[in-house]
Amino acid sequence: EQIVGEYFPMFEKEQLTVRKSITEEHVPVCIDIEKMVRVYDNLFMNALKYSIKPSEFFINLELKDEKAILQVSNKAENVPADDINQLFERFFRGDKARTGHHGTGLGLAISKRIVELHSGRIHADYSGGWLRFTVEHQID
Ligand SMILES: Nc1ncnc2c1ncn2[C@@H]1O[C@H](COP(=O)(O)OP(=O)(O)OP(=O)(O)O)[C@@H](O)[C@H]1O
Ligand SMILES: [Mg+2]
């Protein structure tokens, strides 16, 4: 909620309407806050940089099967890679990203490493024009 609040003005400025659904339930996960903030920062910055605009940005946090599941989705013309898993490779940047925005192509690779060091999982899927990232943590 706190990070979403910090990003809210930037989403508004970029004409992305935030649609969030965050569970009211207690979410008992053991995480390194500073490291996980890097993961959320990159996901939110990526949506700001690469989403189709104006459009909507969905944030969803729920508890399911003993897992805390965070999903973020934004509109994208296509998957900017032949294989969606390439997005998590070091230095990978899509065509649009290379022409329009600064970045190193490290954000998702670092995020994957951080999430996996938490014994969690991060992955992406694309369906009907929406690119969605899922971050899963086992709850304690
Ligand atoms: N939310 C998104 N919507 C559309 N494309 C995305 C999104 N997130 C990532 N991508 C694509 O995946 C590439 C890799 O993302 P990643 O965060 O790893 O690197 P970056 O944003 O280019 O650079 P950095 O995060 O290091 O500043 C991006 O360059 C972009 O092409
Ligand atoms: Mg990035």
| 19-59 per-position pLDDT tens digit | 999 999 999 999 999 999 999 999 999 999 999 999 999 99
Task: Please tell me the residue having the least CA distance from ligand 1 atom 30.
Answer: 94
DSSP 66: T
Question: What pLDDT is recorded for position 95?
Answer: 80
Q: Is the CB of 103 under 6 A from ligand 1?
A: yes
Nearest ligand, CA of residue 105? Answer: 1
Q: What is the dihedral of CA 49, 129, 121, 110, to 10 degrees?
A: -20
User: Given ligand 1 and candidates 44, 50, 56, which is best to mutate, with the most ligand atoms within 8 Å of its CB?
Assistant: 50
Q: What domains can be seen in the chain, in order of their start residue?
A: 2-138 (3.30.565.10)
Helix (H) or strand (E) holding 80: none
Residues of the chain short of pLDDT 50, as ranges, are: none
Amino acid at 88: F
Q: Is the CB of 36 under 6 A from ligand 1?
A: no
Nearest ligand, CA of residue 97? Answer: 1
Q: Is the CB of 70 under 6 A from ligand 1?
A: no
